[in-house]
Structure 1
Amino acid sequence: MRRLGISVYPNHSKLEEIKEYIELAAKYNFKRVFTCLLSVEGDKEQIVKEFTEVISFAKNKEMEVIADVNPKIFNELEISYNDLTFFKNIGADGIRLDMGFTGNEESIMTFNPQDLKIELNISSGTKYLENILSYQANADYLMGCHNFYPHRYTGLNYEHFITTSKQYKERGITTAAFINSPSAHIGPWPVDEGLCTLEQHRELPIEVQAKHLWATEVIDDVIIANAFAAEGELKALSEIDPYQLTLNCELRGDIPSIEKKIVLEEFHFNRGDVSDYVIRSTQSRVKYKGHEFKPFNTPDIKRGDIIVETSLYAHYAGELQIALQPMKNSGKTNIVGRVAEEELFLLNQIKPWQKFKFNLKKK
């Protein structure tokens, strides 16, 4: 199951604000809460009180709560990896190890009687997971989650992100990564230049970041790293199909009704015999066989153009295509619209037989 999540920081926000945010996120079917103990300062009793109240509220909204920790926090709070009662007492469903131990300790944690999930840091790119599994860890209690990066230009490289995420997905372990809300400015650290896992996401609209993470097929849970995201952003994320890539597009004002129906209403998938030049969705040419598709807009083709072939192309008439690179137009090809500019890079995610659909871009 693919889920949405938010992040909250009790030591940086008022508890009532956090509760309002959790309630709002729950309204839009968010199912995870990330919280951070790494930057917590104060006495143990106060920490327990604040985090317990926040976690209890989230749990009542049927949201899973994972707390970010490291060995330093274990020492400061006098917690042993052999006894995770502290985290159970504050109500957490699991802990995320921002920095780990030697491998054996993590494996022991996966047998904790408190029934807590142990979430590992995916981003490090070492054989960390393999090491833990070599100590005969209980893999059913393992999860994986990437880091987020508040400093501009320090976010993950895409290839590294894919490689490290696959280590977890190939073993059936749930994965998570973070996206950045442009309207939110609260994180665990004072640096505020956005909070995201992938550097290329830092300036993108929030829903495009989420679409991309899910389209990679290596991430299950998408979590907003900074607080508090605007309600419009939460709503936009809740409307994304996590399993089928939906491309925002703009259509020509003079597009005929059948061509418009093909773009927005028909079921699309890329043919298995893929081309370097176009993504091809061919079922519409079968359904609308015999309809006359007249030429009405036939300029040269640019990457991201949405095409419906005319009847001048005989049995190709009615086929939908998305251009992957510039091409000369023979005069037989209608350009009926375009993929939104900020989503053009998502075309790289469409594999052979990949299912996809279009939504009109909101103005």
Structure 2
Amino acid sequence: MIGFSCYLSEPADEQQTAYLKQMQQAGFTGVFTSLQLPEDDPKTLRQRLNHLITSCHQLGLAVVADISLASLKRLGIAPRDCSGIEALQLDGVRIDDGIDMTTVAALSHTMGVALNASTLSAKTIDQLANAKANLRHIEAWHNFYPRPETGLDPCWFQQKNHWLHTLGFKTMAFIPGDAQQRGPLFAGLPTLESHRGLLPLAAYLDLKRLATDHVYIGDPQLSPRSIAAFQAYTSDQVLLIQTETADERLYHLTWHNRPDVAQQVVRLAEARLEHIFAAPEPHHTGERPRGSITLDNTRYGRYAGELQITRCDLPADPKVNVIGHVAPAALPLLDHIGPHQALRFKQ
């Protein structure tokens, strides 16, 4: 599942409804929100939650909310009142401070339950089993980390995911947005520190590579460009590669990496197979920093017309013309271009 966040600190309005629909059309299937907003009036919070759930369910979006002992009390729900929690009409709850495993076990029979992946232990699992929890409805969700420098280490994260998978739990983690960011720090809401400030789609692909089952956008909003990138990837498995400068002919086709993956370059199969570029004369044969889009010229003999993207910095070669550059923000996507991967260049 791929999801996004919609927080109740903002009023429900037409703009929110339009964003929900836009994200659903882009392939997103889940929404995360939080009931832990102590500054908000409980009545207003409940109204906004009801509106969000209704709007999401009309679009087929599942809603999971962060709950704690304090947030339940503010809504007038007793800590062990499972029927009161179920009455919220949520599809799932992410458990935070103060809610015991007996309540978690009871909730697991009527809705999805997410526990903190970082602190989930063998002892906790034994407690759930003894309370006869439905473990098939329980998942392990990692936190997001608002403060810079505090996000998780990817090696530890992957090891934790592997351990959780051996126990049968699915995992979830957050990636940052690239439009409106959530306060008070406004520094992104990633699970991994290495994803802070990273292109959202690149962060998503990183998490999938690290055996993460579900990925949610932690921040309140994605940019239109990122929404389009996710839609292209979720619907057609196409990577949209933003460029700074490039030959106009690049923008009219969907390209594919060759099945035999090169270490230093992405070799785009269509260029030579379909003779898209006539063998060019040497021109702009300068250095090829990572993300250079290049075309082999007549000096390369039978390779003339081969189109490539450099994965690393390469020196100038009089047999290779540089015809464009990938935008700096899009460079991390180059690490995710595997065999047969489709891509389109965007201005």
Q: TM-score, normalised by structure 2?
A: 0.76
- The structure 1 residue matched to 2:151, chosen from 147, 151, 155, is 155
- Structure 1 gaps of 5+ residues are none
Does the 8 Å contact 1:150/1:193 carry over to 2? yes
2:336 counterpart of 1:318: no
Q: Cα distance 1:252–1:158, how it changes in 2: closer, same or farther (>3 A)?
A: same
Residue 246 of structure 1 aligns to which amino acid in structure 2?
Answer: L
In the other structure, the counterpart of 1:173 is: 170
Q: Cα distance 1:268–1:57, how it changes in 2: closer, same or farther (>3 A)?
A: same
CA deviation vs aligned residue, 1:254-297 (integer Å, no higher than 9, x gap): x6x4xx37x9433224624x42x223344543333995343322
Structure 2 matches for 1:69-148, cutoff 5 A? 69-70=67-68, 73=71, 77-80=77-80, 84-98=82-96, 106=104, 109-110=107-108, 112=109, 114=110, 116-122=111-117, 124=118, 127=121, 131=125, 135=129, 138-148=134-144
Q: Distance in 2 between matches of 1:295 and 1:133?
A: 70
Q: Distance in 2 between matches of 1:98 and 1:249?
A: 43
**SS of residue in 2 equivalent to 1:8:** coil
Q: Distance in 2 between matches of 1:68 and 1:212?
A: 23
- The structure 1 residue matched to 2:233, chosen from 235, 241, 254, is 241
Does the 8 Å contact 1:182/1:194 carry over to 2? no
Q: Cα distance 1:193–1:270, how it changes in 2: closer, same or farther (>3 A)?
A: same
- The structure 1 residue matched to 2:19, chosen from 19, 24, 27, is 24
- The structure 1 residue matched to 2:293, chosen from 297, 302, 306, is 306
- The CA deviation at 1:172 is 7.6
In the other structure, the counterpart of 1:355 is: 341
Q: Cα distance 1:293–1:213, how it changes in 2: closer, same or farther (>3 A)?
A: same
Q: Cα distance 1:132–1:97, how it changes in 2: closer, same or farther (>3 A)?
A: farther
Tell me how many residue pairs correspond in the alignment: 335
- The structure 1 residue matched to 2:201, chosen from 186, 210, 217, is 210
Does the 8 Å contact 2:66/2:95 carry over to 1? yes
2:218 counterpart of 1:225: yes
Does the 8 Å contact 2:175/2:195 carry over to 1? no
2:342 counterpart of 1:346: no
In the other structure, the counterpart of 1:271 is: 260
- The CA deviation at 1:301 is 1.9
Q: Distance in 1 between matches of 2:225 and 2:4?
A: 12
Residue 31 of structure 1 aligns to which amino acid in structure 2?
Answer: T
- The CA deviation at 1:142 is 3.1
Structure 2 matches for 1:252-291, cutoff 5 A? 252-253=246-247, 257=249, 260=250, 264-269=253-258, 271-272=260-261, 274-275=262-263, 277-282=264-269, 284-288=271-275, 291=278
In the other structure, the counterpart of 2:2 is: 3
Residue 86 of structure 1 aligns to which amino acid in structure 2?
Answer: G
Residue 203 of structure 2 aligns to which amino acid in structure 1?
Answer: H
Residue 257 of structure 2 aligns to which amino acid in structure 1?
Answer: H
**SS of residue in 2 equivalent to 1:25:** helix
Residue 197 of structure 1 aligns to which amino acid in structure 2?
Answer: T
Q: Cα distance 1:198–1:25, how it changes in 2: closer, same or farther (>3 A)?
A: same
- The CA deviation at 1:94 is 0.5
Q: Cα distance 1:149–1:350, how it changes in 2: closer, same or farther (>3 A)?
A: same
- The CA deviation at 1:327 is 2.4
- Structure 2 gaps of 5+ residues are none
- Using the aligned pairs only, state the percent identity: 22
**SS of residue in 1 equivalent to 2:6:** strand
Q: Cα distance 1:358–1:159, how it changes in 2: closer, same or farther (>3 A)?
A: farther
Q: TM-score, normalised by structure 1?
A: 0.74
